[in-house]
Amino acid sequence: TRDPLVVFTPSGKRGHFPAGTPVLQAARQLGVDLDSVCGGRGICSKCQITPSFGEFSKHGLTSQPDALSAWNAVEARYDEKRGLKPGRRLGCQAKIEGDVVIDVPAESQVHRQVVRKAASTRAIAMDPATRLHFVEVAEPDMHVPTGDFERLAAALEREWGITGLRADLPVLAGLQKVLRRGKWQVTAAVHRDHTGGPPRLLALFPGLHEAGLYGLAIDLGSTTIAAHLTDLDTGAVVASAGVMNPQIRFGEDLMSRVSYAMMNPGGDAEMTRAVREAIDTLIVEIAAEAGIDPALILEAVFVCNPVMHHLLLGIDPVELGQAPFALASSDAMNLTARELDLAALPAAARVYVLPCIAGHVGADAAAVALSEAPGRSEDLVLVVDVGTNAEILLGDRSRVLACSSPTGPAFEGAQISSGQRAAPGAIEAIRIDPETKEPRFRVIGSDLWSDEPGFAEAVGAGGITGICGSGIIEAVAELRLAGLMDESGLMGSAEQTGSPRMIADGRTHEYLVWDGSATGGPRITVTQGDIRAIQLAKSALYAGARLLMDERGVDKVDRVVLAGAFGAHISPKHAMVLGMIPDVPLDKVTSAGNAAGTGARIALCNIAARAEIERTVREITKVETAIEPRFQEHFVAANAIPHKTDPFPELQA
Ligand code: FES
């Protein structure tokens, strides 16, 4: 008689095993992805499986309900204490007795997929660098003079195949107490290094550690710092928070911060201190919000532009302010929290900083490349991450090019007369009737348009406060569509346009969107200066994209992805009317949400993604906008709305 046949779903892996083989063991031998933290002791419940009898019967598999061994004492005890879902078994306890189909539910898979919320092309496969391993450590013995750490390392090698374990001093310092408190049963958080370095013990917990491990994906921008606290087991984001980058007081944009470092001895260190302190505060806040002990945050991944990258690492950024824009190092960084003085994290927590692409194209662009994977695209895709600097990637399977373009903060509502950050009360969408020239708009925090009943109540007591980035883009595009502004961006007078909303403002005109002054609210207008600021920003963006297209030898792209916390809210139609992006069919413009933040999350949750992006950045062709004369030509031609010379046939359609 043959040994029982076992088929695992969803992998479809199968094999024959002698009766009495534990399911976990069969899964390991077949390379089936079945989790375990306790090493088969029946206490972690990570190995849960569901026998699904008969599903494969048409292929000749004759499963019987008794194809698995009956409940044993360990399983019964677990069920009594914690409760197993109906139909579930512990894979380390249930033994194979006959032919059986075994389903591994998603939560029992080590490399489970986390579905991304944004319009995503890729799910995140969980395989974090740091994992938990439960072990029993041999007690010390006078006659065998080994250290506690060495016996722990031996146990991890014996039970989990982890060789060459190292520990930093802060972990060693607490090790002996934990071993004794756990009565020599402990859970080790071990970090694997994807570059071939030794595995590291990051933390040790007494007994079976069930409170999980967490990591931070941090998008360190010039204006804001955003952090996502992520469960390293499930990949779920348990809390997100953001703060202003305090370096703003040293300079609004990157170049003024570089000048600050140039002009003030010790200025770079001052900015480094400020940003690290802000990150620390943010970590404390986000952990408190999620109700999580910061001691459980053992990893952090950073994405940032080159200047922020240097200032985070404590490297003087002056070289980035002048050609040839040399980075101190473009490589990815593997560090500890202590090296970055991040006191909110355990000293041994690991910090990974994504690699930079070039002196002007940073780790944030690398993160976008990881998230949107233009190098895997069949068709030619233009990815634009809109921010104070636009990160632009163009490519397909054959080749990817990247540049960064200094758009300035206008797209984020800064330097706009009625501009503000995207927050409740900000106008985020606007339409201007081409006949009456009257506006209607929507503000953040309400779904209603301003001409719909109930709008005032929906906006609430805070009222209408200003216009955010997506609002100003729509406003300028709508002014053009309504004929209130010519191709050069010049607004007409009330007489010329027949609209009393065009109000003289010195020698130019402004368009009155909303006058709340009667009730103590703001008067919201779009001024000629606002339009000029948006023209400069959009020309820089378009010129960067055109430069990459020239380099690639094409005059059109197949599709456009708008990324960035704010890029996600831009209306594709208005972006095209404005001439921010090259002409493509409107249904070929998609939004990717905060792609840089997503890239950081991918690198946090999947160790292979780190190796992947380090490889990818080496293959990306870098294009430097600052020294390229054609950039200036494209910039000037792109000043017109939508463009002086480039055709926009899709707009006509
Ligand atoms: Fe931990 Fe089965 S492996 S309960």
CATH fold for the domain made of 364-409+533-652: Nucleotidyltransferase; domain 5 (3.30.420)
Question: Of 117-121, 196-200, 628-632, where does the model show the most confidence?
Answer: 196-200
The answer, yes or no, to whether residue 567 has pLDDT greater than 90, is no
pLDDT tens across 335-362, in order?
A: 999 999 999 999 999 999 999 998 888 9
Q: What are the boundaries of each domain within the chain?
A: 5-108, 129-206, 364-409+533-652, 424-526
Q: pLDDT tens-digit profile of 479-512?
A: 999 999 999 999 999 999 999 999 998 889 999 9
Pairing of strands 200-206, 185-191: antiparallel
- CB distance 422 to 473 below 8 Å: no
Q: Are strands 166-167 and 200-206 parallel, antiparallel or unpaired?
A: parallel
Distance of CA 635 to the CA centre of its chain: 30
Inter-CA distances, 320 with 323, 365, 436, Å: 8, 16, 50
Question: Per-residue pLDDT tens for 575-601?
Answer: 999 999 999 999 999 888 889 999 999
- Give residue 36 CA to ligand 1 midpoint distance, Å: 5
Superfamily of structural domain 5-108: Beta-grasp domain (3.10.20.30)
Tell whether the model's pLDDT for residue 10 goes beyond 50: yes
43 Cβ inside 6 Å of ligand 1: yes
When pLDDT is cut at 50, 70 and 90, the band that residue 307 belongs to is very high
- Residue 645: its pLDDT value, please? 73
Residue with tokens 């898979």: 109
Pocket mutation for ligand 1, best pick of 25, 32, 34, 41 (most atoms within 8 Å of C-beta): 41
**Ligand 1 mean position to 4 CA, how many Å?**
23
- What pLDDT does residue 57 have? 44
Residue range 181-208: mean pLDDT, rounded: 96
Please, what is the Cα angle at 150 between 144 and 154, to 5 degrees?
95
Asked whether 94 lines ligand 1 (CB < 6 A), one says no
* 45 CB near ligand 1 (under 6 Å): yes
The order of strands in the sheet holding 224-231 is 237-244, 224-231, 214-220, 297-304, 350-353, 333-336
The Cα–Cα gap between 36 and 28 comes to: 10
Span 71-128, pLDDT tens digits = 888 888 888 888 888 889 999 999 998 888 899 998 888 877 765 554 444 578 899 9
Contacts of 67 (CB under 8 A, 6+ apart): 4, 51, 53, 96, 97, 98, 99, 100
Nearest atom, ligand 1, residue 37 CA: 1
Tell me the mean pLDDT in the region 145-159: 95
**What per-residue confidence (pLDDT) applies to 119?**
45
Average pLDDT of the residues in 216-222: 93
For 402-425, the pLDDT digits (tens) are 998 888 878 877 789 999 888 888
76 CA from centroid of ligand 1 (Å): 13
Does 170 contact ligand 1 (Cβ within 6 A)?
no
How far is it, in rounded angstroms, from Cα 221 to Cα 219? 6
Q: Are 355 and 327 in contact (CB under 8 A)?
A: no
CA of 74 to the centre of ligand 1 (A): 10
Neighbours of 121 (CB within 10 A): 15
44 lines ligand 1 (CB under 6 A): yes
- Ligand 1: which of 28, 43, 133 to mutate, most ligand atoms within 8 Å of CB? 43
pLDDT number for residue 653: 53
Give the 3-state secondary structure of residue 485.
Answer: strand
Give the pLDDT confidence of 422-467 residue by residue, as tens digits.
888 899 999 999 999 999 999 988 889 999 998 888 887 778 999 9
Helix (H, G, I), strand (E, B) or coil at 124: strand
Using the predicted structure, report yes or no on whether residue 56 has a pLDDT greater than 50: no
The number of the ligand 1 atom at minimal distance from the alpha carbon of 39 is 3
Q: CB-based contacts of 327: which residues, under 8 Å, 6+ apart?
A: 306, 309, 310, 319, 320, 356, 358, 359
Q: Is the per-residue pLDDT at 627 higher than 70?
A: yes
Copy the structure tokens of residue 149.
């750490």
Rounded to the nearest 5°, which phi and psi values hold at 628? Answer: -95, 115
Q: Tell me whether domains 5-108 and 364-409+533-652 share a fold.
A: no
- Quick check: CB of 92 below 6 Å from ligand 1? yes
Angle at 128 between CA 373 and CA 331, to 5 degrees: 60
Number of H helices, E strands in the chain: 17, 29
**Angle at CA 131, nearest 5°, toward 129 and 137?**
135
Closest to 307 measured CA to CA, from 273, 333, 268, 276: 268
Element (H, E) at 607: helix 607-619
| Nearest alpha-carbon partner for 333 in 320, 352, 316 | 352
Distance (Å) from CA 157 to ligand 1 centroid: 18
40 lines ligand 1 (CB under 6 A): yes
CATH number of 129-206: 3.10.20.880
Mean pLDDT of 633-637: 91
Centre of ligand 1 to C-alpha 102, Å, is 16
Question: With contact defined as beta carbons under 8 Å apart, do 651 and 583 qualify?
Answer: yes
Q: Which residue has the tokens 């929507």?
A: 442
- Quick check: 133 pLDDT over 80? yes
Substitution site in 74, 79, 90 for ligand 1 pocket (most atoms within 8 Å of beta carbon)? 90
Q: Please tell me the distance from the alpha carbon of residue 203 to that of residue 216, in angstroms, as a whole number.
A: 16
Report the chain's terminal Cα–Cα distance, integer Å.
72
Average pLDDT over all residues of the chain: 90
Beta strands 466-467 and 14-16, pairing class: unpaired
The alpha carbon of residue 183 and the mean position of all alpha carbons in its chain are separated, in whole angstroms, by 40
DSSP 315-383: ---GGGGSTT---S--S-EEEETGGGT-TTS-TT-EEEEPPPSSSSS-HHHHHHHHHH-GGG-SS-EEE
Residues 374-402 as b/e (b if ≥16 CB within 10 A, e otherwise) read: bbebeebbbbbbbbbbbbbbbbbeeebbb
pLDDT in the model for residue 61: 53
Q: In angstroms, what is the span from residue 91 Cα to ligand 1's centroid?
A: 7
pLDDT at 254: 83
Residue nearest atom 3 of ligand 1, based on CA coordinates: 40
pLDDT at 376: 93
Which atom number of ligand 1 is nearest to the Cα of residue 92? 2
How remote is the CA of residue 56 from the centroid of ligand 1, in Å? 26
* 66 CA → ligand 1 middle, Å: 21
Q: Output b/e per residue, 249-286; b: 16+ Cβ within 10 A.
A: ebbbbbeebbbbbeeeeebbebbbebbbebbbebbeeb
Instruction: Give residue 470 CA to ligand 1 midpoint distance, Å.
Output: 50
